[in-house]
Structure 1
């Protein structure tokens, strides 16, 4: 039987160890992401997120609170939340990519 491409120099045992290592790393990923902090600053509206995308703090400068223009404030808040979530998603993807290169391609 022909072995899959990139099976690894240690054979099946080496592949299994790489898989175990990747799984162990993946299990700690959520805790790592929860401890990360991502700041988003849109001038008068600022937010702090963790690496899982959870918003931890939202700060609004009271000088921009205009009862006649609530829509502008709403737009800024939506923009801050979207940027924070996108930054958290990119952080997660980069950390996952740091795990995946250790997993061999079994050609399946």
Structure 2
């Protein structure tokens, strides 16, 4: 029983480490804004293509950033849930 619990904990740690390396990339404004988010829901990189941004319309750029952030976080959560779901079934036996 204890061996199974240790194995499960090790599998969870492994999945968490894999999520650190997982990069989700999303874009908005037809590529004007590109955001990379890790499987841990941390923003890794934001790229803004200056040739596609109208500095007279900053609200549009802000909107694109919001869209990309929202989409990126949602996709990262989906990736994390898919990776962790198979491991979560046995947590009841750990008392969690």
Superposition TM-score, scaled by structure 1 size: 0.72
> After the TM superposition, which residues 3-14 of structure 1 pair with which residues of structure 2 at under 5 Å, given as runs?
13=1
> Which has the larger helix fraction?
2
* Cα distance, 1:17 vs structure 2: 3.7
Which blocks of at least 5 consecutive residues in structure 1 are unaligned? 1-12
The CA deviation string for residues 7-63 of structure 1, in whole angstroms up to 9 with x for no partner, is xxxxxx3xx443322211112222110111111022211111211111111111212
What is the number of residues matched between the two proteins?
A: 92
C-alpha displacement at 1:105, in angstroms?
Answer: 5.7
In the superposition, the TM-score normalised over structure 2's length comes to 0.79
Could you say which structure has the greater relative contact order, defined with CA pairs below 8 angstroms and 6 or more residues apart?
A: 1
CA RMSD of aligned residues (A): 2.0
Query: Which shows bigger deviation, 68-77 or 48-57?
Result: 48-57
5+ residue gaps, structure 2? none
Which has the greater radius of gyration? 1
